[in-house]
């Protein structure tokens, strides 16, 4: 598979790094990156070829990954449009809808929209994917291969579900860090040294997630298993329930979902509209 990336920042580097760890050759990728220092880093660290802007080399690749910030996407897509024919385009930009991308790409419709999250940077991401009808089964397999480099994948039935993915797993690492902050703060308040508080918070999350993944049980069951009547965990959960913390989390995630829909509207506007 010959690959091109438009934008050679964090996500492009993470995907390429993950692919290379599985045997992909840097020589099979070209990265269009506007920043000269970033181009030099990509060429020396990953051995990919680099260009300042997309050009004739795009005709020789199978898959083009759009990995620039959403606010740069319109301009980037328009510069790519003249070089498109049959290539599969994968956009990882948050909030950019396929209809807007298709319009900016001059009508190109063989597009997969992907919503990864920051743990992708350490190959532990989860990416939600949505494909247009023009995307074949073998295209989907290529996308799976590509994004398996940064973690797990979930295919979605409707593009609107991408806004749910954004609210759950896209913003989700921040919810995890938020609870970690609370665990650390409590440990320190109770007299533990900061480094020990950090270690406890970190491993509690890592261990909880591993246990849930490996046992495959409902989180409510796992929670019941550590909540004995009259015990310490029940004392803590009673405080959380009284403050309706779970309902507040659901409300918070719905706010993220609404904001994701609004950002999609904003990013999709053309200057004259
Ligand atoms: N990071 C994440 O975990 C994450 C999660 C979900 C989705 N995403 C999406 O992934 C996309 C990339 O994120 P990122 O974190 O990798 O961003 P990033 O590190 O800022 O990378 C984007 C790169 O593209 C370059 N660029 C800007 N305009 C360009 C152009 N016209 N042609 C070529 N290159 C251009 C930027 O250069 P300059 O810095 O000079 O502008 C930068 O090096 C974003 O759309 C984001 O929404 C990221």
Give per-residue pLDDT as tens, 9-55.
999 999 999 999 999 999 999 999 999 999 999 999 999 999 999 99
Q: Rounded to an integer, what distance in angstroms lies between the CA atom of residue 184 and that of residue 207? A: 16
Is the CB of 64 inside a 6 Å radius of any atom of ligand 1?
no
Is the CB of 90 inside a 6 Å radius of any atom of ligand 1?
no
CATH class entry, domain 172-242: mainly alpha
What residue's CA is closest to ligand 1, atom 17? 9
In sign, the C-alpha dihedral spanning 137, 140, 145, 148 is negative
Kindly state the average pLDDT of the residues 251-263: 97
Annotated binding site for NADP(+): 6-11, 67-70
What residue's CA is closest to ligand 1, atom 26? 7
Domain map (residue ranges) of the chain: 3-159, 172-242
Asked whether the predicted pLDDT for residue 273 surpasses 60, the reply is: no
Asked whether the predicted pLDDT for residue 148 surpasses 70, the reply is: yes
**H-run or E-run covering 243:** none
pLDDT value, residue 271: 85
Q: What homologous superfamily is domain 3-159 in, according to CATH?
A: NAD(P)-binding Rossmann-like Domain (3.40.50.720)
Asked whether the predicted pLDDT for residue 224 surpasses 60, the reply is: yes
Asked whether the predicted pLDDT for residue 2 surpasses 70, the reply is: yes
Kindly state the average pLDDT of the residues 231-248: 98
Rg (CA), the chain: 22
Sequence-distant (6+) residues with CB within 8 A of 268 are 96, 97, 99, 100
Tell me whether the CATH fold assigned to 3-159 matches the one assigned to 172-242: no
Distance, C-alpha 81 to centroid of its chain: 25
pLDDT band at 191 (very low <50, low <70, confident <90, very high): very high
- Closest residue by Cα to residue 111 from 122, 101, 123: 101
Strands 29-32 and 3-6: parallel
Tell me the CA–centroid distance for residue 158 and ligand 1, in Å.
25
């Amino acid at each position: 598979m010959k690959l091109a990336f438009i934008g050679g920042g964090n996500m492009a580097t993470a995907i390429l790094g993950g692919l290379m760890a599985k045997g992909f050759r840097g020589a099979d990728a070209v990265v269009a990156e506007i920043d000269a220092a970033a181009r030099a880093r990509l060429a020396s660290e990953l051995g990919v070829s680099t260009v300042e802007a997309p050009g004739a080399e795009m005709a020789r690749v199978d898959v083009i990954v759009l990995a620039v910030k959403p606010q740069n996407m319109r301009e980037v897509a328009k510069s790519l449009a003249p070089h498109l024919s049959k290539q599969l385009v994968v956009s990882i930009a948050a909030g950019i809808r396929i209809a807007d991308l298709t319009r900016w790409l001059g009508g190109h419709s063989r597009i997969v929209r992907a919503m990864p999250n920051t743990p992708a940077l350490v190959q532990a991401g989860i990416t939600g994917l949505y494909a247009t009808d023009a995307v074949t089964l073998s295209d989907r397999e290529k996308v799976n291969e590509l994004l398996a480099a940064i973690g797990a994948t979930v295919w979605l039935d409707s593009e609107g579900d991408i806004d749910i993915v954004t609210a759950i797993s896209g913003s989700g690492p921040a919810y995890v860090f938020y609870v970690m902050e609370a665990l650390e703060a409590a440990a320190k308040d109770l007299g533990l040294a900061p480094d020990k508080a950090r270690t406890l918070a970190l491993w509690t999350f890592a261990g909880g997630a591993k246990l849930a993944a490996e046992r495959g049980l409902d989180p409510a069951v796992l929670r019941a298993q550590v909540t004995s009547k009259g015990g310490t965990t029940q004392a803590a959960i009673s405080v959380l329930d009284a403050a309706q913390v779970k309902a507040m989390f659901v409300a918070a995630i719905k706010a993220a979902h609404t904001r994701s829909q609004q950002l999609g509207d904003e990013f999709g506007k053309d200057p004259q509209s």
